[in-house]
């Protein structure tokens, strides 16, 4: 059984928003790596993680979420994902990373 880890996506220094169910919104910049294991060439487990950067004013709110281990939604860089903070500046994705596509309206001339 041959197992290998492949990098599916790398997002670097993208602006985004962390939000929770109570309308808390924190502007951040983030990096994220999305990986997937393959066993004998067949896709298997996926794992995603990353780093956050934010303004100092957000430190109190971020530290509360990190201590309480509440899931947050990270949106930006063309993706949306539910994340769990694993520290003040790090996160792990808890589920599927969803691509967000913005379609431009086609204007007839």
Inside any domain, residue 109: no
Residue 6 backbone class (left: φ over 0; alpha: ψ -120 to 50; beta: rest): beta
Integer Cα distance of 32 and 86 in angstroms: 14
Give the residue, 32 or 65, on which the prediction is more confident: 32
48, pLDDT greater than 90 = yes
What local confidence, expressed as pLDDT, does residue 94 receive? Answer: 93
Q: 105 lies in a domain? A: no
User: 73-100: per-residue pLDDT in tens?
Assistant: 999 999 999 999 988 899 999 988 999 8
Range of the domain at 64: 3-99
Q: What is the pTM of this model?
A: 0.83
Q: Is 20 a domain residue?
A: yes
The number of distinct structural domains making up the chain is 1
Whether 94 maps to a domain, the answer reads yes
Q: Determine the Cα angle at 99 with ends 57 and 45, to 5°.
A: 100
What number is the average pLDDT over the span 57-68? Answer: 79
State the Cα–Cα distance between residues 83 and 69, nearest whole angstrom.
Answer: 10
Residue 104 lies in a domain: no
Q: What is the pLDDT of residue 103?
A: 62
Q: Which two tokens stand for residue 19?
A: 């939000």
């Amino acid at each position: 059984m041959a197992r290998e880890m492949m990098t599916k996506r790398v997002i670097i220094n993208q602006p985004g928003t962390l939000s929770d169910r109570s309308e808390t919104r924190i502007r951040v910049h983030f990096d994220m790596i999305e990986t997937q294991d393959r066993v004998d060439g067949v896709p298997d487990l996926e794992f995603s993680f990353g780093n956050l950067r934010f303004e100092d004013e957000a430190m109190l709110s971020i530290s509360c979420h990190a201590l309480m281990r509440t899931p947050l939604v990270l949106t930006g860089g063309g993706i949306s994902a539910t994340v769990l903070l694993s520290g003040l500046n790090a996160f792990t994705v808890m589920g599927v990373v969803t691509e967000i596509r913005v379609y431009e309206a086609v204007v007839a001339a």
